[in-house]
């Protein structure tokens, strides 16, 4: 961990769910609704689909790095169909994207995101969001929580930069901001976030514990593991050189 040059970091690319938004509060009800849609109202099948995709239907516990923790809409749809949903993948993907966009209205942030992004923006950091959700949902979230004006870049699974853990979303952020990958920090609650950072050659990989990962599951791929994103403010140097 000592080899990381924190003072080189000039841009931060955040995952959304479990990182900016508290995973349990935001997503457990949505996952239940998702399973009900895929099961076309069959409650027993819905529970089976939840288990198969990584959520305990009784406790709500999410398996780290499972489909529900880390998959994009298409991957989740494919997983639901493979596990027994009778809806076809294309139709299910469309329905779930609509559900996820709507879910942005009910999501719960881990902190005052407008104030958090404004402080980092004022310190000179370039800021972005890279999520396996669709771009429309990400923009809705940024608008709803008042930080859209402080982000320089937004990428969803459907934005044309590929999917996690491929490096495309990070390279897109680098291109949009003029930064080298070594100047970028990736922050997320899943290994696919950290592996995306690794494959893009970023300068810093930070795991956070507000999502579906654990200190154990995130240890190998992260330089730091923080309780939540607010700890970044003291981890990173006070200000960017002008
Ligand atoms: Mg996440």
Q: Do 17 and 32 fall within a single domain?
A: no
pTM for this predicted structure: 0.85
* Residue 242: inside a domain: no
Give the Å distance between the CA of 69 and the centre of ligand 1: 7
> What are the angstrom distances between the C-alpha of 176 and each of 98, 152, 218, 236?
28, 7, 28, 22
Boundary of a domain, candidates 106, 125, 151:
106
Q: Do 36 and 156 fall within a single domain?
A: no
Which token pair is 72? 């994009």
Q: Do 218 and 102 fall within a single domain?
A: no
Q: Do 176 and 58 fall within a single domain?
A: no
Q: Do 160 and 222 fall within a single domain?
A: yes
Give the Å distance between the CA of 33 and the centre of ligand 1: 19
Closest by Cα among 84, 85, 68 to 76: 68
Q: Do 74 and 137 fall within a single domain?
A: no
Give the Å distance between the CA of 206 and the centre of ligand 1: 12
Report H helices in the chain: 23-38, 43-53, 67-70, 73-82, 89-103, 113-122, 135-144, 168-177, 191-200, 215-219, 232-235
* Residue 240: inside a domain: no
Q: Do 126 and 219 fall within a single domain?
A: yes
Give the Å distance between the CA of 185 and the centre of ligand 1: 15
Give the Å distance between the CA of 15 and the centre of ligand 1: 6
Q: Are 141 and 21 in contact (CB under 8 A)?
A: yes
DSSP-derived letter for residue 105 is: G
Q: Do 154 and 90 fall within a single domain?
A: no
Boundary of a domain, candidates 85, 106, 127:
106
Q: Do 161 and 79 fall within a single domain?
A: no
Give the Å distance between the CA of 91 and the centre of ligand 1: 24
Give the Å distance between the CA of 241 and the centre of ligand 1: 30
Q: Do 122 and 225 fall within a single domain?
A: yes
Neighbouring-strand partners of residue 101: none
Domain with 30 in it: 26-106
Contacts of 2 (CB under 8 A, 6+ apart): none
Count the domains in the chain: 2
Per-residue pLDDT of the chain (242 residues; tens, 9 = 90+): 446 889 999 999 999 999 999 988 888 999 999 999 999 999 999 999 999 999 999 999 999 989 999 899 999 999 999 999 999 999 999 999 999 888 777 789 999 999 999 999 999 999 999 999 999 989 999 999 999 999 999 999 999 999 999 999 999 999 999 999 999 999 999 999 999 999 999 999 999 999 999 999 999 999 999 999 999 999 998 766 55
Give the Å distance between the CA of 17 and the centre of ligand 1: 4
* Residue 172: inside a domain: yes
Q: Residue 194 belongs to a domain with what CATH number?
A: 3.40.50.1000
Which token pair is 87? 């809806």
State the pLDDT at residue 102: 82
Q: Do 81 and 122 fall within a single domain?
A: no
Give the Å distance between the CA of 75 and the centre of ligand 1: 15
Give the Å distance between the CA of 227 and the centre of ligand 1: 14
Q: Do 220 and 115 fall within a single domain?
A: yes
């Amino acid at each position: 961990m000592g080899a990381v040059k924190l003072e080189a970091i000039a841009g931060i690319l955040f995952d959304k769910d479990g990182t900016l938004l508290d995973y349990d509060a935001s997503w457990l009800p949505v996952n239940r609704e998702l399973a009900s849609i895929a099961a076309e109202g069959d409650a027993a099948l819905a529970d089976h689909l939840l288990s198969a995709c990584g959520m305990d239907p009784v406790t709500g516990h999410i398996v780290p790095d499972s489909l529900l923790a880390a998959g994009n809409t298409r991957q989740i749809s494919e997983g639901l169909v493979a596990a027994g949903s009778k809806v076809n993948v294309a139709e299910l993907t469309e329905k779930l994207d609509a559900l996820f966009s709507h879910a942005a209205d009910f999501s719960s942030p881990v902190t005052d995101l407008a104030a958090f992004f404004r402080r980092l923006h004022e310190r000179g950091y370039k800021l972005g969001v890279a999520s396996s959700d669709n771009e429309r949902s990400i923009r809705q979230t940024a608008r709803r929580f008042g930080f859209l004006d402080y982000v320089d870049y937004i990428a969803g699974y459907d934005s044309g930069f590929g999917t996690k853990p491929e490096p495309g979303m990070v390279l897109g952020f680098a291109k949009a901001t003029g930064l080298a990958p070594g100047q970028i920090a990736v922050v997320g609650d899943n290994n696919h976030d950290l592996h995306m950072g690794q494959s893009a050659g970023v300068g810093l990989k930070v795991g956070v514990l507000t999502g579906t990962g654990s200190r154990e599951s995130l240890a190998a791929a992260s330089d730091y593991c923080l309780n939540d994103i607010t700890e970044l403010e003291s981890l990173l140097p006070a200000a960017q050189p002008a």
